[in-house]
Structure 1
């Protein structure tokens, strides 16, 4: 869906950012601006600043991995875990703006041949589950307390033996190549055979609920591989898809957290006892793309993998990945070796419910998990265990919690609290030193600063934009160059530059946040300064020449032909003259 730019601009102009944000959190007037306690991190002082003039917000205390800044739509997206279109719709509703958002061509779902084949397979397998061939598999589901209601909710079916699915699709006129491309059949030396024969079939759907693949379970004890999933097809990429998210997304928003289970059967187990905010990644290896998809709906994740060693090890890896993406991580308080369904069957619904409602914190899990890896009677092992746990404790943002965990670690290791705290501080100092010397991007930090100064100066006036266009016209960093182009296009069309109106024309929330971050950063410049703009442009030119000199130098080393080498050296001399001229002219 694409909402016309003029509609977005009109909605934003009629929606004072301080009023919209004030509908979700308390805002307080401070001078010409407003401040609030930031809802995106544990804020003890009002660090969220709201500018009515610029129609932007920015938190000055959010951690680097979870920066918070942008316009009114960005705030609503982040606070309510909505898509950009959903955020625009909600703001429109809040101000009483009437517009038929559904009356767009992009709203129409375009069904491909692969979509049709998967849909046909879902219907066929649902029918077969209730046939004579499917009786044994339906009884298996009933033994796992998956009743007719849950079977219908998850569209569970059965793919029979003897290549019946392929035969069915072929008789309906579908081409063999298309059936194979949809991963419903494969070509073998014995002809075309079903991929998922004699298995329970659970459809995998996209975020809008359209089936795009399958996860299939065998109940045959002689089969080693219990589950197989669809391989990648034109409409299905396993690394990008989160199972059950299309059903769970509303409940995730409502409950403000997501349960990440290990597999589809676990999702069904949680769902049937009322926890419909459960999803899974169809395996213990959760990808970054899957986590980023989940993060659109919540920042809080409860890891609920199996209680066996494999499941607990997977929690450790996934938990670290979640922390890297800015999640608040909790862990199911599973003190058994069973999966969720087995817990229900052996101990009852109440036991699993209690595990969910009283989860472990991430550090509590780490403390217990690492204990099994070390002989704590041995001093060296005890010391290594302490260091390993401290590595995780130092990531904790709350100082009170840090000290609580240090005390708990002291009880286990018998090391003094003061000694452990010193180790924590030492490690934090080292970490900070590393961060100071590490460049924040692939470009030199000074060049990145110069580019951001240029962009901020462009936001001040058309005059600065003209200087930039005449003297440089590009930026080395692709994303920052995209922003410069957006600013220039806006200026060319309107003959003026206004931040609020510029942001209204941009749909990419990441770019909006970055523009607001640059505009509100007063570290290197806080007012219009033509000389600073020209100096920064000069620095970019110097950088480009230096990079070209490095390339030419590398080429000269590789040449054996003296004439070619001389030609390259002449180019280098000419570039060096240009570089000296730039440096002397600054």
Structure 2
């Protein structure tokens, strides 16, 4: 049976959309609404709006919109029931659930369930008096406290080939989902399966809503290769857009207006331990534009804290360009040679590490320092520059990109044109992505149609008169026609257009995005009746003119004396008369 409607309404009543969205994005007040950079497409100017009055959101750049449930669904890539349960947990509303038959579950839900079970199983193994003794000893020797084990849900994958696999099968989890989640692998040349992680510390990787999407693991045997191992990518996990610890760090990042970026899991945990809770880590991969976009939504300043070796410095040089190109102010902390953030945090403690951050170098100051401090061969120098320029994407901000190129040219003492040429060559080898939807080119007719739909939702006596002036065929866009039908239905049934009942009807009709967009349209000041009447008149005028244009093209293809041509001429005459009578 579905989730009871009263449960959904109870969650909707408690889950303020501004509060929910602000956990993911940096919202700024804009009149009666809030705005932010859209999380669903790349943009320079914020076009994502949230209406606290109507509890809706809409992006005027890509068209995505809806209510608090659809926002969580889009952000987390989860189904409606999952979004309801997630918000229910956050707002203390119990959602009555049942065991879902395999045939009814989505693949994502099954993957989440498999990962959740595995995380709990690894956690129990760590805490088991005998099984987890060695792993607990290692953590304590590294200075990672039991409180941190709890906060980050650290676990342990025991030695042995298939202990987790057997536990998962006993739980009824499918082999297909266990393989896709990267928890098991097929035995080479043999039948059967073995655990992907064995004799490793386990660091669960969480989505922003706090669900386990993958695992990072560190080998405890010095002979184990590779030392660090991540879950393979899956429908719910992509390394290029996931940052370890962001689910825990998000609020602190907003408070501090700054994010600290480290490389390893223990680096991240150690910095959280000394109170630097605005720390995240890349999941065993280089910083990507998608990482940068995720951070840009919550802060404007990034501080890179790389390992104190050449590999760390090179990674910081590449990451810094990507973060700068995304619009972040970038600083870099230079640690002692051979050190890393984990060791530095344990050695320095909170107060001294804070001073280290305060004395960070601006990115190009750091870049200049590295280029002077190290001896590069011509080939090494060229490779570093190419890797840095690869971080400049064609769809990025042109002015920001030009400033970065100018700074690089200054530090490298090379001609900026040569760097621009290199960037162009890089782009020419990369297939361009599909163009994003952009509403800036939306024609005037559609804008007026949406304005009139907004006006028709006001409690004004002139609206009743206007109902007789409009027809669904006056709207050029299918979504506007369907929304007007919805309004007509609500008027007939006496449904309050600002009520939850109307929102529910919009959702049932698949019009929640349209409803969110229209709700965020600001009504121009002035005489309401005149504005409504003039807007309707203009819509009808544009409709007739569009029809006249079509008829004109049709006439060009017809013989002048044919019956079809005469019929078109007569119809055109009637349209012109109707136009003059508006």
Q: Aligning the two structures, in what range does the TM-score lie when normalised by the shorter sequence?
A: 0.5 to 0.7
Q: For residue 541 of structure 1, report the CA deviation from its aligned partner.
A: 6.4
Relative to 1, partners in 2 of residues 1:171 and 1:516: Cα closer, same or farther, differing over 3 Å? Answer: closer
In structure 2, C-alpha distance between the alignment counterparts of 1:533 and 1:336, rounded to whole Å? 68
- Alignment pair present for 1:274 and 2:279: no
Q: Give the deviation of 1:247 after TM superposition.
A: 2.9
Q: CA RMSD in A?
A: 6.1
Q: Distance in 2 between matches of 1:229 and 1:344?
A: 24
Alignment of 1:79-90 (within 5 A): 84=68
Taking the aligned partners of 1:364 and 1:407, their CA distance within structure 2 comes to 14
User: Do the aligned residues in 1 keep the contact of 2:259 with 2:299 (CA within 8 Å)?
Assistant: yes
Which residue is 2:151 aligned to?
153
Match of 2:330 in 1: 330
For 1:311-370, what per-residue CA distance to the aligned partner results, in whole angstroms no more than 9, with x for missing partners?
Answer: 555556655655666x64333423556431143366665553323344445665676678
Which sections of structure 1, spanning at least 5 residues, go unmatched?
21-38, 42-47, 88-99, 376-380, 397-401, 421-439, 550-565, 567-572
**Residue pair 1:447, 1:543 contacting (<8 A) in 2 also:** no
Given that residues 68 and 513 in structure 1 are in contact (C-alpha distance below 8 angstroms), is that contact kept between their aligned partners in structure 2? no
Is the CA contact (8 Å cut-off) linking 1:5 and 1:504 kept in structure 2? no
Select the residue among 458, 474, 477 that pairs with 1:475: 477
Work out the CA distance in 2 between the residues paired with 1:364 and 1:503.
Answer: 58
Which position in structure 1 is the counterpart of 2:82? Answer: none
Structure 2-normalised TM-score?
0.58
CA distance in 2, matches of 1:278, 1:412: 29
Moved more, 150-159 or 228-237: 228-237
Distance 1:545 1:117, change over 3 A: farther
Asked if the contact 1:73/1:84 (under 8 Å) is kept, the reply is: no
From the superposition, tell whether residues 281 and 314 of structure 1 become closer, same or farther in structure 2 (CA, over 3 Å).
Answer: same
- 1:65 is aligned to 45
SS at 1:186 equivalent = strand
Matches of 1:448 and 1:120 in 2, distance apart? 51
Q: Please point out which of 151, 161, 164 is paired with 1:166.
A: 164
Deviates more, 1:115-124 or 1:208-217: 115-124
The secondary structure found in structure 2 opposite 1:225 is coil
**How many angstroms does 1:218 deviate by?**
1.8
Alignment partners' CA distance in 2, 1:360 and 1:74: 45
Determine the structure 2 residue equivalent to 1:532.
538
TM-score (norm 1): 0.57
- Cα distance, 1:246 vs. partner? 3.5
Change (3 A) 1:545 1:109: farther
Contact 1:200–1:217 (Cα < 8 Å) also in 2: yes
Matched residue SS, 1:196? coil
| Distance (Å, rounded) in 1 between the aligned partners of 2:413 and 2:169 | 73
Q: 1:455 aligns with which of 444, 447, 450?
A: 450
* Change in CA separation of 1:312 and 1:457 when aligned onto 2, cut-off 3 Å: farther
Aligned-residue offset at 1:374: 12
1:493, CA displacement in angstroms? 0.8
Cα distance in 2 for partners of 1:492, 1:500 equals 14
Between the aligned partners of 2:55 and 2:325, the Cα distance in structure 1 is: 22
Separation (CA, whole Å) in 2 of partners of 1:66 and 1:246: 23
Equivalence for 1:187: 186
Distance 1:264 1:543 in 2: 64
Structure 1 residues 168 and 159, CA gap change in structure 2 (3 angstroms): same
Alignment of 1:78-227 (within 5 A): 84=68, 102=91, 104=93, 106=95, 117-129=114-126, 134-166=132-164, 168-169=166-167, 172=170, 174=172, 177=175, 179-188=178-187, 189-190=189-190, 191-227=192-228
